[in-house]
Amino acid sequence: MSTAFQTAVRTNVQREKRYAAIDRLVASGDRTSLAVVVRTGGLDGEFRRRALEGLADCGGSELLAELADDTTIERSLRRRAEQLA
């Protein structure tokens, strides 16, 4: 996985650096890593929602549809994925 992905999911990283890492994933069109961020349990919801928004921004409709049906993630994230798909 990329350095940006590792920064996004590491627990001892400052909030601003995590946001910047997620934004780099969006800018590079790394939809797979963004979907993994959304699925990462234990990661604050704000980062997972940012990754969802990023998926929408970089054309990740298919992954958003998958996430909307993924019962392993929180219901609120599934609803948002469905709205964005």
Does the pLDDT value for residue 1 go beyond 80?
no
d(CA 84, CA 65): 9
Identify the pLDDT of residue 3.
94
Q: How confident is the model at residue 11 (pLDDT cuts 50, 70, 90)?
A: confident
Does the pLDDT value for residue 4 go beyond 90?
yes
Which residue from 77, 85, 11, 82 is spatially nearest to 46, judged by alpha carbons? 77
pLDDT in tens, 28-72: 999 999 999 999 988 999 999 999 999 999 999 999 999 999 999
d(CA 63, CA 49): 14
**56 conformational bin, left if phi > 0, alpha if psi -120 to 50, beta if neither:** alpha
Identify the pLDDT of residue 51.
97
